[in-house]
Amino acid sequence: MTEGESDKILDLINPAIKAFRRAAQDDPETFWARAAESLPWHRRWDRVFEWDPEKPDERGRYFRWFVGGQTNLAWNCVDRHVQAGNGGRAAVVCEDERGDRSVLTYAQLQHDVRRTAAALRGLGIRKGDRLGIYMPTCREAIVLMLACVRIGAVHIAVFAGFGSGALGDRIAMSGAKALFCSDLTYRKGKNVPLKGIVDEALAGSGKHVAKVVVHRRGADEPPMNQGRDMYWPDFLALGGGQSDEVEWVESNEPAYILATSGTTAKPKLAVHTHGGYQVYIHSMGKWVFGLEENDIWWATADIGWIVGHSYIVYAPLLAGCTTLAYEGGLDHPGAETFYRIIETNAISGIFTSPTAVRVLMKYGSEPSRKYDLSSLTRVVCAGEVLNAPAWEWLQLEVLGGRVPVIDHMWQTETGGPIFGNPWGLGVLPIKPGSGGIALPGVDAMVVSPEGDPLGPNEKGMMVITRPFPGLTATLWGEVERYANDYWRRIPGKTLYLSGDASSFDEDGYVWFSGRADEIIKIAGHRIGTIEVETAFLRHPGVAEAGVTARPDPVRMEVIAAFVVLKKGFEPSEQLRRELLETVRRELGPVAVIGDLNFVSMLPKTRSGKIMRRVLRAVTLDKDPGDISTIEDAGSVQEAREAWEAMRKEITLH
């Protein structure tokens, strides 16, 4: 944005946020140094920031934050709170869909983390070694993550819904020495076996993996590979005589790596560090989510995703609050589950996905009225755009306008939010459907394909002009790919491309239209998938909608739409006409609907993103191919089953 546009944003916000934004713009290094000073450091940094866009350092990093500083992410999450006399405060509450529940205070969490850290050393894991985690959102997995980081090792968590191919790829790319898994996970009333998937994954690409540690939950004994596999109690016994002390590390040492999708079939491994990442998620936890010690916080994600890392585990514990980790479907065995968890735990803040909101919306607001939701003070959403109809239903109908429902946006690569409504500093007027403003310390603008800045309401590509502490500085093992995929996409410009098609309005609020490669081009007009899906949601009978492009000989492309109806509505020609008219009324005649398909479900990732590649495959009557590298994707098998089900359903209609 230009300076004039930036000034206009400031007209909407209070003086504290004005001061924050201006301080960040005028002197970014001093701004982030002050943010870093809110956390303890074993050794203060020598330099705040170093950046060479053309040449990485000897570790493949193009920039570094808090250079020379020594810290440990896990120690700041756990030990410092115990030292401050807060060991009796609840740290982690774990629940699952079967009704099991456990609570760990900060002192108990410290005990378990230290015990597990000693066991890791007994297993031969040392600073810099990688270990894989293929487990559901459970107590043991969270303790393991913290223990790994405590000793300076590097974890790579893989969502426990991926198939063997995706798991094997990620473990092989990371060079993990050990893999920790559960024998099964719980998914909507079913036991889903995991150990067989592990064995299949390692048979093809597990040459680096010397040990597999199995967290047994089921009654039946899983298949075990003698000499390689061991159960959790045997692993913990290895800690005898081993040190459980913290490993202090330089700020830019990796804490974990996590896969995100690429434009090719090969996933990318983002790297997040002990120093910069810690400062960023802690800061955004305060500024955007308002995380405080007295919060009981619930992020409804899975630990296999970036949200699970940043806002189930690390940021809430850095803040010293209580974080709830839930394993299971939010609407299983019924829609009451979501509201019951809020009441029984007195949840004060929720982080969920727009898709979760739309799933709950299918059941109406009646289930919410059975429960006391008065403990809630805010709800934040991310994953896809929170469409205006879904926002209206949750904030106005369910929560009665008492609790702000705030959208924001970020990526695996950014570690934490980059756009949003800074509730913790002072909430801005909410514009339903907007992702908010560029947050303090994030320099963003919308540009043309040539990299030229665009004005208000002009659609283009979202870019970041300067690194911030949460941004990954390299890809694990792929230094050149990092620069080429993110910073060198526009010739002659050093700009980080987020991959999102978007625009800023006249007030500086950002509006995302979809991924840049998902824009639908109709007779020379460009329209975003999210815009069309939001238009469908304006009809009272629509619960969810997903759209993609279909080739058209006259218009180049037209819209292929897939619509899930609310309970009480049935497919009919009359309803079809109403939906077409609704979209036309919202978007005008440019939004040409070529196909409108009624379906019972949309293929989505476990983190809530619509798999538009699968929609496009259905539209073109093609196999979706390997979808395992889609960001936050579910298993290949799940996606293929969804594809087949949609094809059959469309044939019937």
- Inter-CA distances, 586 with 388, 507, 524, 569, 575, Å: 12, 22, 19, 21, 17
| Model pLDDT, residue 650 | 61
Least confident of 6-20, 56-70, 359-373: 6-20
Helices 28-36 and 276-287 pack at an angle, to 10 degrees, of 90
Residues of the chain above pLDDT 90, percent: 73
| Model pLDDT, residue 344 | 98
Contact criterion met (CB below 8 Å) for 72 and 150: yes
168 has pLDDT over 70: yes
pTM value?
0.86
Instruction: Please tell me what DSSP assigns to residue 189.
Output: T
Name the more confident of 264 and 652: 652
Question: Tens digit of pLDDT for each residue in 176-229?
Answer: 999 999 999 998 889 999 999 999 999 977 789 999 999 999 999 999 999 999
Tokens 């995991």 sit on residue: 194
Tokens of residue 442, six digits = 């994030």
Tally Cβ neighbours within 10 Å of residue 553: 5
Selection from 375, 383, 327, 376 nearest residue 359 by Cα: 383
Selection from 353, 271, 326, 391 nearest residue 632 by Cα: 353
Contact criterion met (CB below 8 Å) for 560 and 594: yes
Question: Tens digit of pLDDT for each residue in 354-389?
Answer: 888 988 998 999 999 999 999 999 999 998 789 899
Residues of the chain above pLDDT 70, percent: 91
Dist CA 567 CA 543 (whole Å): 9
Q: Pairing state of beta strands 229-231 and 437-438?
A: unpaired
Tokens of residue 96, six digits = 């699952």
Contact criterion met (CB below 8 Å) for 454 and 260: no
Domains, the chain: 3-69+273-302+312-512 (3.40.50.12780), 79-250 (3.40.50.980), 518-652 (3.30.300.30)
What SS3 class is residue 10? helix
Least confident of 245-254, 459-468, 600-609: 600-609
Where is 316: in which H helix or E strand? helix 315-319
For 650: left if phi > 0, alpha if psi spans -120 to 50, otherwise beta; the answer is: alpha
Name the more confident of 621 and 157: 157
Helices 3-10 and 15-26 pack at an angle, to 10 degrees, of 150
* Runs of H (alpha helix) within 349-491: 354-361, 388-392, 479-482
Dist CA 78 CA 149 (whole Å): 12
| Model pLDDT, residue 638 | 41
Dist CA 543 CA 145 (whole Å): 37
Instruction: Please tell me what DSSP assigns to residue 313.
Output: I
634 has pLDDT over 70: no
What SS3 class is residue 318? helix
pLDDT tier at 645, thresholds 50, 70, 90: low
Question: Tens digit of pLDDT for each residue in 255-300?
Answer: 999 998 543 447 899 999 999 999 999 999 999 999 999 999 999 9
Helices 15-26 and 28-36 pack at an angle, to 10 degrees, of 120
Dist CA 143 CA 400 (whole Å): 38
